[in-house]
Amino acid sequence: MTTRDQHAPIGIFDSGFGGLTVMRAVVDQLPDEDIIYLGDTARAPYGTQPLAAVREFALECLDHLYERGVKMLVIACNTASSAVLHDARERYDVPVVEVITPAASAAAGVTRSGNVGVVCTASTARSGAYADALAAVPDVHLRTRPCPQFVEYVERGVTSGPEIERVARSYLRPLQEAQIDTLILGCTHYPLLAGVISYVMGDGVSLVSSSDACARAVYRKLTETGMVNGGTEVGSRTFLTTGQPEQFRSIGERLMGKGFIESVSQFL
């Protein structure tokens, strides 16, 4: 394992903006940590691309974060997690945390009936990653529902209202008919739609955010390895994008609120 010290930053990678929900959850739980966030917006969305292409893009971005001296890599993208996790854990000598296993474990602990659903991108659905993560859990039956348009709505800033409600009802109807009692938000964009998804599914369905579950896994891993920063100052936040920095800042602030992103630099 790496000799990097506890004061090194955490590296968080996503295909675009959804991973900002993971970053916000990590900041809430670990406010002293320095964080470098890299969004591959020039090649997003990953959810409609072949997993081989996603693997290539993801490793390039993770390599860059590793070279910047991070003490942990966080793959804050369900599609990238399903494509690259095994390779990443062999490639880097720092802990690698992803979103799928923590979310699946959380859902298994929440469900009462064993009927669990996951909404995700098409690539994540094709990978079977959530089914694999829950395969060893007895009496849990998973229904997977790709919802590719959700990402487009989030990045347009449409997270409530009649238009997205109609789309949500169409996507979620099969899961309602399956009588699930727990729904995994299996894309890190989707927590930004939690309000409309919860409204459509009703009070009897518990939502599990892959972003929140991932942040808890980050906290646990840093604590177990003695790598929590533990300083007294608020950590720094550095943002990188493969796309246009000003566009990244504009969309990111629309999603996260003003002040969350101060400046953005270009990578690649």
- 10-45 burial string, b = 16+ CB within 10 Å, else e? bbbbbbbbbbbbbbbbbbeebeebbbbbbbbbebbb
Closest by CA to 102, choosing from 210, 23, 220, is 210
The whole-angstrom separation of Cα 168 and Cα 172 is: 6
Peptide bond into 138 cis (omega under 30): no
Residues in the chain: 268
Residue-wise pLDDT for 74-128, tens only, equals: 999 999 999 999 999 999 999 999 999 999 999 999 999 999 999 999 999 999 9
The whole-angstrom separation of Cα 177 and Cα 15 is: 32
The answer, yes or no, to whether residue 206 has pLDDT greater than 60, is: yes
pLDDT band, very low/low/confident/very high, at 4 (cuts 50, 70, 90):
confident
Which parts are annotated binding residues for substrate?
14-15, 46-47, 78-79, 188-189
Query: Phi/psi of residue 250, each to 5°?
Result: -65, -50
User: 3-state DSSP call for residue 85?
Assistant: helix
pLDDT band, very low/low/confident/very high, at 2 (cuts 50, 70, 90):
low
pLDDT band, very low/low/confident/very high, at 268 (cuts 50, 70, 90):
confident
What residue type is 3 in one-letter code? T
The whole-angstrom separation of Cα 207 and Cα 119 is: 11
CATH T-level topology, domain 10-98+212-266: Rossmann fold (3.40.50)
Report the catalytic residues: 77, 187
| Average predicted confidence (pLDDT) for the chain | 96
CA distances from 87 to 59, 63, 126, 192 (A): 8, 12, 19, 29
Residue-wise pLDDT for 214-248, tens only, equals: 999 999 999 999 999 987 789 999 999 999 999 99
CATH architecture of 100-210: 3-Layer(aba) Sandwich (3.40)
Looking at residues 196-214, what average pLDDT do you find?
98
Tally DSSP H helices, then E strands, for the chain.
Answer: 11, 10
Question: Where in the chain do CATH 3.40.50.1860 domains reside?
Answer: 10-98+212-266, 100-210
